[in-house]
A and B are shown apart, each in its own frame.
Chain A
Amino acid sequence: MASNKKYWKSEAELSPNNSIVEQLRQNEFPEEVPVDEFLGDKEGLAATTTNRRDFLKYVGFSTAAASLAACEGPVNYSIPYVVQPEQIIPGVANYYATTIANGYDFASILIKTREGRPIKVENNKDAKSNNGANARIQASVLSLYDSSRLQGPMAGEEQTDWDTLDATVKATLNATQNSGKKVVLLTQTYASPSTDRLISEFQAKYPNVSHVTYDTISEDAALSAFEARYGERALADYDFEKADYIVGIGADFLADWQGGNFDSGYSKGRVPKNGKMSRHVQIEANMSLTGANADKRIMLKPSQQKIALAKLYGKLNGTTVGGELPEAAERALDQIAAEISKNRSGAVVVTGIDDVNAQAVVLEINEMLGSKAFNPSAPRYIRQGSTAAVNELIADMNAGKVGALLMDGVNPVYSLPNAAEFLEGLAKVDVSVAFSTLWNDTTAASKFTGASNHYLESWGDVQLKKGHYSLMQPTIKELFDTRQFQTALLKWMDNDVSYYEYVKATWNENILNGSDWNQALHDGAFVASGDMTSEATAAPADAAEGAEEAMTSSVVPVASALRALASSPSSDMELVLYSKVGMGDGQQANNPWLQEFPDPITRVSWDNYLTVSKADAAKLGFENEHVANGGLDGSYATVTVNDITLKDVPVIIQPGQAPGTVGLAFGYGKKTGVREDMQVGVNAFPLYQNFSTIQEAKVTKAAGMHEFACVQLHKTLMGRGDIIKETTLEIFNTKDHAEWNHVPQVSLNHQEVPATTVDLWEGFDRSIGHHFNMSIDLNACTGCGACVIACHAENNVPVVGKKEVRLSRDMHWLRIDRYYSSEDTFEDDNEKKDNLSGAIGSKVGFEEMEDPAVNPQVAFQPVMCQHCNHAPCETVCPVAATSHSRQGQNHMAYNRCVGTRYCANNCPYKVRRFNWFLYNNNDEFDYHMNNDLGKMVINPDVTVRSRGVMEKCSMCIQMTQKVILDAKREGRTVKDGEFQTACSNACNNGAIVFGDINDENSQVAELKDNDRMYHLLESVGTKPNVFYHVKVRNTEKA
């Protein structure tokens, strides 16, 4: 039964003899809170010159002064436009379709603008591909208003003007024509048809120009494998919605693997429909977001993953492949192979191992299976970097062969593993120009810096995948004297055409094929019609044919690849570098929203860290401990890879980390051009040797303890285990919902009745008008956190900083709780023990049971204000600042709140947030609300809260009210789907659905009637308006 499953938040809870856990059942804080420090300091009190009477005088005076000051209001000015643009109406938002393409994140998005200011990123639901904005893309609008942005071109550290820069570059371009030196463009991946055309024209004018594409986090192996097989440097596309059986081997495909944006398809397949859902097996070393969502997770070192991949191929192909694997893994692979062979075309195998052989084998497997989810005929172009070319460039630079280096969208001095070599070479280049929005290590080392446009100020286009185009249009005029790289190229070519005209011309000539440019620009995305039809009909046939061809043509290379994989050498400690959901490749390290975004797995914000398994931590002496103020501390480690040493890397003991491996995230440790508060973490790029995320490492303990800012660290669930409900697909399909979705019972008149039927309060009639409900499907939620940032942006949630987060004063209105769990029940453990058979079986079985913390299951649960119909917060407010509406929303009137915090204490869900400080206009909180530029992102429809008031999720009442008003004005009823919140809008996975349950035909009403529906803490009787859907796992029992 699902409700008996044991959940835990820290390993300490699993030990029955742990005194701390016993203590915690009674006390919230493990150690005594040191109140004496500030209350009992007799000496300090005696020494002060302010006595009680003086204090009262001060209070009296300041109160009087404040009241007098309040009598005089300020004079406000209203300055209308001189000539108002036709489409701008003050107070009404405009939406523009555009595209983000910063070399790491590629997506079709909508930008909401108010009075000409972009304030929010939304998903472009009409786009056919890459239409989901992840957390980083959601936050990218704040980077536009970064007060440390470059405001004009620079020569070294001096300001210069564009004319000087243009003249120098042009002179160099002309001078190098005959000198035999090369001019190199070192850029991010653009995947842009117009930029490609522009660069080839540039090369035609200056024949010594070469173009090197550099991806900060490389997909070179996958690109090379695809190129070898299909003759095009691209990445295969996958549609996980079509997959019934997914095997991921070291591939974090729900995050950023091969460009990301696979999660919405994945989630659609994960919701049980007609008794079916996809099954997902993940073989990995780090506990990744993808592994956390898997039905079965197998921990293997990267070297073993390679062998496992080779063996899986062998088992599917009926051949024998050598190599050593642990017994359990071997059996698991047998099972995978058996399950795949039941429905070969429904299966798909993906891998993230940075090894051409591994990537080639995966392509081979998917071809062999004829996988429906695998689509090599419309490949993705959003990664094009070549590590070989980058290395060659560095060699050329050092040999003095490069006359000019023009860089855009890259920061090689920070992100190259061999940055020192690059720097040396850069000094030998005659003219170097780096285009960037921010001052960084590369601009500091370049002769010139081109202040670049933010993507929201730029024109552009992207071919996301074959035939799928997307347009980028500016949503605001350049804030500063900046220029996008393409415009600069045009200038240097003496071409007077603007880049807008250039893009338009490219589209009219090559892409639109007669379709309307304005329509394409309006939609933001365009699918070439020819490609659409051929894809739809020809893809499966292609795949089948391709499979046969591949079998015959590529036997030899696959065989050698398999041999290479099977003989992968193992090492004692393997380091797996990864990118965090919040930080990616570190481009937006200066973005406070992303810094404060807690990692979905570790729930740590403002840091990166070495994830270590418990066994290794014990071996190496690493510790994690909670201190009295509620913070988490961790030991420091020294990590060495091939003579390169990273010192003082903080350690997190991560359940689910494969023993013998450690993980470390990219994107942190930036110092140059990053505001002091955001110079956090360590830079992992120096360890990224040969552009491989898998490294052999030596890890030792260093002195000292690191202070983390972790948002979820209560050691226990305080006996509220039923907050998450889950079951297996088998039970879900065969048993009555009362069994797997157990409603807590209470005693009424000495009879056990379901808690939901008992009501202490008189209910309020909510059947008239709108009644908003939110549905959260724990099956569809991958924990990606896009909703968290969307909520941040929509509701002007302040950033509080690392120190405050550590004091549990984080302000996120919406949090995604992460729970670990092991076996279903302790009875299950006993049963398992009794049924073990054979020497090997019992050894493995006992090993598994020995420590459930080794490889736990993970569940994500987004929690925001539950908008209880019987809200405990409302009854305790002494000033009636929080009250209920007939539409189901729990209102919070900030201007009425006096800050007693009773409501937060009485809230069973802990979703209320208190403003301990004034976070705006306060230089103590130097994030974005204290400068004019950063304030431009503030949503004018939501109050910016002041100090001393409670705040919480409003269920985006500003959005629901707007929908109602629009309907009233147009004299029509509201259609289903119109009501949205920031989080439901941001959720591209369909996990969060919002709507009006009084509209019987609405999606949310249907979801409420679903058997999987339950409320949080039903036994409390709060009757929330947010409900959840029981998580169903497709475990092997199914």
Chain B
Amino acid sequence: MRSDGSQSAPLSLKIAAACGLLFLHLPILLIFVYAFTTEEKSFVWPPPGLTTQWFAVTWNRPDVWQALSLSVRVAAISTAIALVLGTLCSAAVSRTKFFGRETISLLVILPIALPGIITGIALRSAFSLADIPFSFWTIVLGHATFCVVVVYNNAVARFRRTSGSMIEASMDLGADGFQTFRHVVLPNIATALLAGGMLAFALSFDEVIVTTFTAGQQQTLPIWMLEELIRPRQRPVTNVVAMVVVLVTLLPILAAYYLTRGGDQIAGSGK
């Protein structure tokens, strides 16, 4: 056996790995085919014919647009809140050692470590105890809570790699704390924050379990899809929406990957 570490893998391993990756990707690709099928009433394969008419039909559906707009607004505001809270928390945890530091990390990770249903029902029962009616803001409240962790993870990884002496140098050269933050700290963590923000956006945009508990009558896009999954009314429209959702979530993930690659921790490796 050569020992330069470049020997090729056994065939069985190659096949097993390839099959595993196919298992992960083929189902998603199938969605793309179904978006063009002419069949309306069932999920029949192979599709009897191909058409693009469903894109036009979906385009003219006000309920899809409303759900999409609600999802985008919720995701944008949750991401903004998560960016502020996550950055503050990561800066505090990585800059200094203090009593209860581990507890803070645990506190941030907990909303995503516990099953979503627990977060959801806990928030819902708290709303009902406090007599808070369901609204746009109750959805945001839930989403921001579990989005903090992705921003936090990305920012902590970046802080770990930036040297604290740069801040001291900046202060020695006469910058005050705010100038140091603006001209030294922020440029250093900007791409990590951008990546974390995009992942938080994707996470919020896609979230359904917590949302079912914290949304009243309003429908985010995932809630709209869930309704269609439980009681299919118009399958072709659902197919098109599913395809668009795949494409829309693809872009932030790719962008986040390119922003943080080469680092010791690449964005998104812990959802």
A and B: partners?
no
